[in-house]
Structure 1
Amino acid sequence: MALLFVAGDQGIKEKDLAGLLEIDSAALRQNIEELTVKLLTDADSGVQLVNYNSIYKLVTKNEFSELLTKYFKSGLGSKLSQAALEVLSIIAYRQPITRIEIDEIRGVQSSGSLNTLLMRKLIKENGKKNVPGHPNLYVVTDEFFDYFGIKSLKELPAIEKFEDDSKVGEINGES
């Protein structure tokens, strides 16, 4: 089952699966049948084994379609975009910070990324800046620390390290 899991949407051709497991096609089909029955009858399993044109793959059971649709619509099932990661890193290093300050650093508008990060609960509003318009201030959340597997902002690399690395590239004639 581990091979089928890591194969993902691609699946594995029957002959390749038999070769990897070092068994003949008859033995493979018997094992596949046993696994198929096991997954279908296990109420705690959300996956089933399917065969499309001699390609085996694990797919989610139909009865979970509504829950999975809700999950993907929430945005939780998607990776963070490069823009969202940029905004998140700016907030982590410069918090508390406003959207306008983030936009000035990036040189582009950041409200879409901010909305994504707020929805994912990686950042939160933390008061208002005492300037005209009183814009929101943003900071990272506990979910940020969980997402990146760190305990504090002190574990982030020193920003000077990135500045030094970019100067090394300039010295070597790289850009």
Structure 2
Amino acid sequence: MEMASKEANLEALLYAAGDNGLDEQNLVELLELDGEELSQVAEKLKKDLASNTDSGIQLIHVSHTYKLTTSPQTAKIIEKYFQKDLTKNLSQSALEILAIVAYRQPITRVEIDDIRGVNSSGALQTLIWRGLIEANGKKDAPGHPKLYVTTDYFLQYFNYQSLADLPLIEDFEDNAKDDEEVDLFDAKGKADLNMQKEGQ
């Protein structure tokens, strides 16, 4: 099988990393490059993406971290997409993350990953784009990871006056069978989640 180019490997890593991107040190180790080589590879990928008029993705470099984001010219279609009905288009994983953030906020992405057992960066970014959660401060821990909380729009959409209106987790644990779907967001009756007792 043909080996991927350094640019392709960088693009794949940044895609997998999602909203958080990857810092230079991690990329140097993963790609087995030195700092200067990384800069050259990143610059080539950035130019390749910018020169491809059919690409809606761009590479950015902020605070020693590289990220893939949607390009400015796609703003209208992205906005249109996120104006569609929220819960109809949210994946099961996004709904699970939304529930975790709602009940455990403020919480970091790594803590969300620990609860779910899988990487949550992609679905987390979807919730941010849709205005349901947001970063609010950083945790006093190594790396100072972002802390995520629900937004006022989250309350508005699900018809809650405050977070105190959220259903009690204990109610679901008492009344639901192990495999039974329960409705955390019953104000609109749309978001059925399979409650996992671990970490909830």
TM-score, length basis structure 2 = 0.47
After superposition, residues 46-65 of structure 1 pair within 5 angstroms as none
Find the residue that maps to 2:148 and give its secondary structure: strand
Question: Which of 73, 83, 92 is 1:76 aligned to?
Answer: 83
CA positional deviation for 1:108? 1.1
Q: Is the 8 A contact 1:71 1:77 kept in 2?
A: no
Percent identical pairs in the alignment equals 58
Q: Alpha carbons of 1:128 and 1:162: their partners in 2 closer, same or farther (altered >3 Å)?
A: same
Residue of structure 2 equivalent to 1:93? 103
Q: 2:119 matched to 1:112? A: no
Query: What do you get for the CA RMSD once the two structures are aligned?
Result: 2.4
After superposition, residues 1-175 of structure 1 pair within 5 angstroms as 69=77, 71-73=79-81, 75-77=82-84, 79-166=89-176
Residue 144 of structure 2 aligns to which amino acid in structure 1? H
Q: Alpha carbons of 1:163 and 1:116: their partners in 2 closer, same or farther (altered >3 Å)?
A: same
Find the residue that maps to 2:131 and give its secondary structure: coil
Residue 143 of structure 1 aligns to which amino acid in structure 2? Y
- Counterpart CA distance in 2 for 1:77 and 1:111 is 21
How many pairs align?
103
TM-score, length basis structure 1 = 0.53
Q: Is the 8 A contact 1:84 1:116 kept in 2?
A: yes
Q: Alpha carbons of 1:119 and 1:71: their partners in 2 closer, same or farther (altered >3 Å)?
A: closer
Find the residue that maps to 1:151 and give its secondary structure: coil
Uncovered stretches (5+) of structure 2, i.e. residues with no partner: 1-75, 181-200
CA positional deviation for 1:146? 1.1
- Counterpart CA distance in 2 for 1:165 and 1:103 is 27
- Counterpart CA distance in 2 for 1:146 and 1:120 is 13
- Counterpart CA distance in 2 for 1:85 and 1:105 is 14
- Is the helix fraction higher in 1 or 2? 1
CA positional deviation for 1:163? 1.8
- Counterpart CA distance in 2 for 1:168 and 1:89 is 17
CA positional deviation for 1:165? 2.7
Q: Alpha carbons of 1:168 and 1:116: their partners in 2 closer, same or farther (altered >3 Å)?
A: closer
CA positional deviation for 1:76? 2.6
Task: Say which one has the larger Rg.
Answer: 1
